[in-house]
Amino acid sequence: MPDIRRARLAVSAAFALNGALLGAWASRVPAVRDRFELSEGALGLMLLVMGVGALLSFPLAGSMADRRGAYPVACLLACLYLLTIVAIGLAPVPLALAAALFAFGACHGAMDVAMNSWAAEVERTSGRSIMSSFHAMWSLGAGLGAGGGWLATRAGLSLDAHFALTALAVALVFGPLIRTRWDSRRSAPAAKGPVFALPRGALVLVGVVATAAGLGEGAAADWSAVFLADVVGTTQSQAALGYAIFSATMVAMRLCVDGLITRFGPVATARAAGLFAALGTGLVVGPATLPLTLAGYVLIGMGYAAVIPMAFSRAAADPDVPAGQAIASVATLGYGAMLMGPPAIGFLAELTSLRLATALVGAAALAITALAPVLGQGRGLPRGRTAAG
C-alpha cells in the first residue's frame, strides 16, 4: 500500500510549482507589454502563441502519461517548465519572446495533464474526494507567484531578474517535496494519436463546462492586471493585486470544495459556481473603482474554484477512455480556453473595448450552471461524488 500522505504532499507540491510560475508570468504581463511596446492586439497574438504551445502539448502529454507513467513525466516537465520562464525574461526581441512563450505554454500545459493524471491516481487510491485540494495548491502557488510579482514591481526588479529568482526559489521550495515513491499506472498507447486531443461521447459536455471555466480563469490570469491598470486606472503594483486576490480566493474555496461536493453533490456545486462567476464579472465590468473590481475578482474566484477539479475527476473516472487521454481531451477544451481565450479577448478588446470583452466571459460562465448535471454522471467516482444535485 503506497504512502498516501506522502503522495498527497508530492502532488500538492507539483500543483503549487505549476501555479507559481504561471502566477509570476500573469503578474508581469503589463511589464512585458510595456517592454516590447505591444498593442492589445499584439499582446493577444503573443498569448495566442502561448496557447498554441499548450494545445499541441496536451495529446502528447496524455499519451506519455499513460505509456510511461504520470509521475515521472510530471517531474521531467517541471524541470523544463522552470527553464522556460527564465527564457521569457531573457527574450531580447518580440520574436524571441514568442518562442519563449510557446515553450512556456507547452510545458505548462503538458505538466498540467501529467500532474492531473497523477492526482487522479492518488485520489482513486485514497478512495476520497481530494482533487480540489490539489487544485487549491495550484491556486496557492499562483497567488504566491502573483504576490512575488507585486513585490518585484515595488522593488523595481527587471523582468529577467524577477523570473530567474522566481525559478530558483520555486525549484528550491517545491522541488524536493515532489520527489516520492509512486508507481504510476501504465497502459498501451493508441495506434495513432490525434493532433489535438478532443473529448468524445459523454466527455464532450464535460469539456464544454471546462471551457467556460478555463475561459474565466484565463481572463483573470492574463487580463486582470491590464484591466485594473487601463480601465480602473491603477498603478502597476496595484494592478498585480487583482490576480493575487483572485488566486487567494481560489485557494480558500478549493480547500472547502471537496466538503461541499460531498454534502451537496457536484451538480448543485457547479450550478452555484456558474452563478457566482457571472455575478463577479458583473461587478468587475461595472463601476470602475478599485474596491468593487477587487470584490468582483473575489466572487469570480469563488465561482471558478470548483469547476476544473470536478471536470478532471469526472474525466479520469470515465469507463471508456484511459485517464491520461480523458484528462488530455478535457484539458484541450478547458485549458485550451484558459490559454487561447486571452488572445481572443485581446483581439475583441482591440475592436470594441476590454470591458465588453470581459463581460462576454461572464456570460459564458452561465453555461456552467446550465450544464452542471454532466458532472454527476461518471462511474467509479470517489465516495461523496454523486449525481444528486
Pick the closest to residue 334 from 203, 232, 177 (CA basis): 203
In the prediction, which pLDDT does 102 show? 96
**Does residue 46 have a pLDDT over 80?**
yes
User: Average pLDDT in the 311-322 region?
Assistant: 78
User: Average pLDDT in the 304-332 region?
Assistant: 81
Q: Indicate the average pLDDT of the chain.
A: 85
Residue pair 301/250 in contact by the 8 Å Cβ criterion = yes
In the prediction, which pLDDT does 328 show? 78
Among the ranges given (1-10, 172-181, 217-226, 303-312), the one the predictor scored with the smallest mean pLDDT: 1-10
Pick the closest to residue 309 from 283, 278, 330, 288 (CA basis): 330
**Does residue 202 have a pLDDT over 80?**
no
**Residue 287, C-beta contacts closer than 8 angstroms, at least 6 positions apart:** none
What's the distance, CA 66 to chain centroid? Answer: 21
In the prediction, which pLDDT does 73 show? 92
In the prediction, which pLDDT does 124 show? 82
In the prediction, which pLDDT does 56 show? 87
What band does 386 get if pLDDT is binned at 50, 70 and 90?
very low
pLDDT greater at residue 348 or residue 338 = 348
Cα(166)–Cα(319) distance, integer angstroms: 40
Strands annotated E in the chain: none
Domains in the chain, start-ordered, CATH in brackets? Answer: 4-181+196-376 (1.20.1250.20)
**Residue 280, C-beta contacts closer than 8 angstroms, at least 6 positions apart:** 295, 296, 297, 298, 299, 300, 301, 302, 303, 362
pLDDT greater at residue 347 or residue 79 = 79
In the prediction, which pLDDT does 139 show? 80
In the prediction, which pLDDT does 172 show? 96
**Does residue 52 have a pLDDT over 50?**
yes
Cα(367)–Cα(202) distance, integer angstroms: 16
**Does residue 299 have a pLDDT over 90?**
yes
Residue pair 91/100 in contact by the 8 Å Cβ criterion = yes
In the prediction, which pLDDT does 66 show? 80
User: Average pLDDT in the 340-355 region?
Assistant: 86
In the prediction, which pLDDT does 234 show? 85
Q: What SS3 state is found at 162?
A: helix
In the prediction, which pLDDT does 41 show? 79
What band does 189 get if pLDDT is binned at 50, 70 and 90?
low
In the prediction, which pLDDT does 383 show? 40
In the prediction, which pLDDT does 196 show? 53
Helical pair 323-351 and 354-364, crossing angle rounded to 10 deg? 150
Q: pTM for this one?
A: 0.74
DSSP 18-80: HHHHHHHHHHTHHHHHHHHT--HHHHHHHHHHHHHHHHHHHHHHHHHHHHH-HHHHHHHHHHH
In the prediction, which pLDDT does 136 show? 86
Cα(78)–Cα(229) distance, integer angstroms: 32
C-alpha cell read off for 359: 463581460
C-alpha cell read off for 218: 484565463
What band does 242 get if pLDDT is binned at 50, 70 and 90?
confident
Residue pair 381/314 in contact by the 8 Å Cβ criterion = yes
Per-residue pLDDT of 128-166, as tens digits, reads 778 888 988 988 898 889 889 989 988 889 999 999 999
